[in-house]
Homo-oligomer: A and B are copies of this chain.
Amino acid sequence: MLLHVGVIGATGYTGYELLRLLHRHPQATLAWATSESAAGKRLCDLYPTPDHTPLIRMEDAALAQADVVFLCLPHVASMAAVAAVRAAGVAAIDLSADYRLPDATVYERWYGHAHTRPDLLAEAVYGLCEVNRSQIAGAGLIGNPGCYPTTVNLGLWPLARAGVLWPRVIVDAKSGVSGAGRELRLSSHFVEANENLSPYSIGYAHRHIAEMELILGPHVPGLQITFSPHLLPVSRGILSTLYIDIDPGLSETAVRDLYAAAYADEPFIHLLPPGQPATLRHTVGSNRCAIGLTPLPRPGQWIVTVSEDNLLKGASGQAVQNMNILFNLQETTGFI
């Protein structure tokens, strides 16, 4: 099988990374790539690459000729674009936040915009591969997870689904600057970010909390997440340090067994051995998520460290993994 793939919004960091992954994917070929701001140019005009992919306007893209379309647009902008893709009868994998939250009112509360297509929300599947694999397989529309929530949800899912996670969760997260995109802003200016570390949107202010509540909330009554992202002076990678309480009766072995059971045979989950916390270098450049488990002296208190490459498992890599699931390909195709 050779999938014909369209990419809408190809010139941001996630779009560029997606093209790189698709070029290496043995069962995918790029049908077209769009960019409203750079239509008429080639990718090599925008990035230091020999890739001559021409960029076209979305209105000139032959939507129906694609088997699947990835959308790398900002939120809000993606709503109507996804609708156009679906109207053409083509599967859509949306990397924006627009189709992640099934409840339009929750979306509106966090993003401050009305959702114009609640009908499409109803069919969308949240594409957290290791958790929602079976629903993804038959989906027409996948809301690809956010970078931060992927670390938190994968890091705590085994505990949450077992019903042993207590409601108060503290997430101290650190992300490389590519997570803020290619748009120019002072906080991403080299001299400002280099040799620096900056907390931002700390408290209960960051939109990504909604996705954590989506996955973990149903299993943790009264879930209360404190989420503190920090801007880290690296290009890529997220490390989340999670401070949690669980049922104090669980032994270390029992906890490790929960993770082993949840992630048995998962090719992209790297459970670290006792004593080894996750670091960025465990995952940057790969589609993996690394998870380290550290018990504290007091029973029931744990630190879970989780890392991923924010542009791969946290965005474009997981999107390709979703495509592989959707089309029943070997899930690791294109990665190894």
Residues of chain A whose beta carbon lies under 8 Å from any beta carbon of chain B: 13, 23-24, 48-50, 170, 172, 174, 177-178, 182, 184-186, 188-200, 202-204, 224, 226, 228, 230, 232-237, 239, 241, 243, 270, 277-282, 284-285, 288, 290, 292, 294-298, 301, 303, 305, 336
- Among B195, B196, B203, B280, contact of A197 (Cβ-Cβ < 8 Å): B280
Give min CB distance, A82 to chain B, whole Å.
27
CA distance A292 to B50 in the complex (A): 13
B277 touches A197 (CB 8 A): no
CA distance A193 to B193 in the complex (A): 11
CA distance A174 to B228 in the complex (A): 14
B203 touches A235 (CB 8 A): no
Q: Closest residue of chain B to A336, judged by CB?
A: B24
B243 touches A191 (CB 8 A): no
- Among B170, B189, B281, contact of A170 (Cβ-Cβ < 8 Å): B170
Question: 3 tightest A-B contacts by CB?
Answer: A172-B172, A184-B184, A199-B277
B232 touches A197 (CB 8 A): yes
CA distance A226 to B302 in the complex (A): 10
CA distance A290 to B48 in the complex (A): 10
**Residues on the B chain within 8 Å of A294, using CB:** 202-203
A277 touches B198 (CB 8 A): yes
- Among B189, B195, B233, B292, contact of A189 (Cβ-Cβ < 8 Å): B189
Given A199-B305, A280-B196, A296-B204, A186 and B184 contact (CB-CB distance below 8 Å): yes
A50 touches B270 (CB 8 A): yes
A182 touches B191 (CB 8 A): yes
- Among B241, B282, B288, contact of A230 (Cβ-Cβ < 8 Å): B241
Give min CB distance, A136 to chain B, whole Å.
23
**Residues on the B chain within 8 Å of A170, using CB:** 170, 243
**Residues on the B chain within 8 Å of A285, using CB:** 285
B234 touches A197 (CB 8 A): yes
CA distance A13 to B191 in the complex (A): 10
Give min CB distance, A233 to chain B, whole Å.
6
B243 touches A226 (CB 8 A): yes
**Residues on the B chain within 8 Å of A200, using CB:** 277
A195 touches B280 (CB 8 A): yes
- Among B13, B23, B190, B296, contact of A226 (Cβ-Cβ < 8 Å): B296
Given A197-B239, A237-B195, A270-B50, A228 and B189 contact (CB-CB distance below 8 Å): no
**Residues on the B chain within 8 Å of A194, using CB:** 177, 190, 194, 233-235
Given A172-B241, A281-B192, A303 and B228 contact (CB-CB distance below 8 Å): yes
**Residues on the B chain within 8 Å of A278, using CB:** 199
CA distance A139 to B189 in the complex (A): 37
Q: Closest residue of chain B to A288, judged by CB?
A: B50
Give min CB distance, A158 to chain B, whole Å.
18
